A and B are shown apart, each in its own frame.
Chain A
């Protein structure tokens, strides 16, 4: 993996000089106080680290219905960024914009700029297949193919014409997904025979085998029990050392546990979701600037 940015030690966040600590921030250490700032001109919420994704003025339509309104943010490299918000706030739509999964639904339209490594991924010459093999995805419900564990993991590498040692790649991907020990010697077994949590880690292994740069996770634990959920969360912390991770979750504790940055989204009365607040996770949860973020986090609605 070629990356120019060394992993940034956790919680050590650069504070741009232009930022002031928010009102009522007295109790919060200054280092947490200003992890986000708004680029007034471009209206992009930015964390301090180098950005892998950069979204500005993103609008999204399902037919005539707007689902995202003027979303702008930067997603930092080698961090876990969580998207939270009540149901229907557009967080799933947003994450699916990042690897053009939304292209598959007839009648949708994306406006604005979605940049990955400084390239507009919706530009005419860009190929969605190229985008998706670099930006992997794990879905809400574990969805292994009705094939063997081995074939599940090998699938992506096979369609992508992987030339190396497939056995090794499968083993390595399963190890990375912390599943190898549980299925070792049983790789011919159907992926559907695994438990829910194992299936989801199989899906993660399957995504890793394509050797992506980013892993998008759309509520990966919503169908799992608490123990399986914890395993996935540990895995996420492990994986972020090597990958950039974006996770949609409706579970605020989960966002607090696994993510470095949190974006809070909310839909307006027409159902169009927009970004309300974005910043260092600890700050969002301890010192939200926006009243609506605070209400949501303290469980007053949603």
Chain B
């Protein structure tokens, strides 16, 4: 702060004002530190890319792209070894497909109910419960998938109709994955629906539409890009989820979309390598990074697409 004398004497004032650059230089350091913090996130991405690319490069010296992408068998741990990624991709696609079949209708229905039907009090009750669902650690879902869904419910039920369900199966994993992503789909879709202008609803009601018609023919189409974004984010989460599939879906690579078989996903394989004692430099260890890179690119694709859609949606209505 300036003193009174400094205000009154031009020379002193000039001196006092010259203090500012000093104070600024202190701030220069602070801003520098803040910039450094921001740089850490860029560095993280750089490191992830570097680690995946450089380690995967070692892998591709041993295994050709041709084998990786054209072979149909993934058998890195037993001889004869074989590194065809599609069995793992199929495993991931399997759980993505079945979890979406279950979660998409439920998530969309929840979003429509919360946004178009529910009284404010019901909303205030339901939303925190859904958020609680989003906070459940995935290892807990994994425990339920195998111990409750498979062993207590599905296997006894299917046994009575003569179907033999393997202990590790894609169905139980998909079911828990669906429960896991339900809040993602429901809350992002609901946000999108809530930001559809009230005008449009009034216009539709004014033309003699029922509540369901307003929701389904006006609100859902208007919020479509947001809804699609929620689904893409949910898919990215399923693709990247590890514990549920590793515990409940098994560790047998299997080129199938059947929900009643044992499979292995990309993440499931990666965890298997992480648990084992494969040595650095061996091909089976390095395959971890090749699969990791595949996983990283797939999730990135879905996430970027979702980000772009959300941005487009914002531009439409804001």
Contact = CB atoms under 8 A, between A and B. Distances in A.
Interface of A: 99, 101, 104, 106, 129-130, 132-134, 136-137, 139, 141, 143-147, 155-156, 159-160, 203, 206-207, 210
Interface in B156-203: 197, 199-203
B218 interface: yes
B69 interface: no
Sorted nearest first, the 3 A-B pairs with minimum C-beta distance are A133-B208, A156-B207, A143-B199
Given A136-B206, A206-B203, A207-B206, A146 B120 contact: no
Contacts of B208: 129-130, 132-134, 156, 159-160, 210
Contacts of A104: 201-202, 205
Nearest to B199: A143
Chain B interface, >50% SS class: helix
A159 B207 contact: yes
B26 interface: no
Contact of B203 (A99, A129, A134, A139): A139
Interface of B: 119-120, 197, 199-210, 213, 217-218, 221-222, 316
Contacts of B218: 145
Contact of B202 (A101, A133, A146, A160): A101
A156 B175 CA distance: 40
Contacts of B213: 159
A147 B207 CA distance: 16
23 contacts: A101-B202, A104-B201, A104-B205, A106-B120, A129-B209, A130-B208, A132-B205, A132-B208, A133-B207, A133-B208, A136-B206, A137-B202, A137-B206, A139-B199, A139-B203, A141-B199, A145-B200, A145-B203, A145-B222, A146-B221, A147-B221, A159-B204, A203-B203
Given A106-B120, A145-B218, A146-B222, A207 B207 contact: yes
Contact of A136 (B201, B207, B209, B221): B207
Contacts of B197: 143
Nearest to B216: A159
B203 A143 contact: yes
A201 to B, nearest CB: 14
A160 B202 CA distance: 16
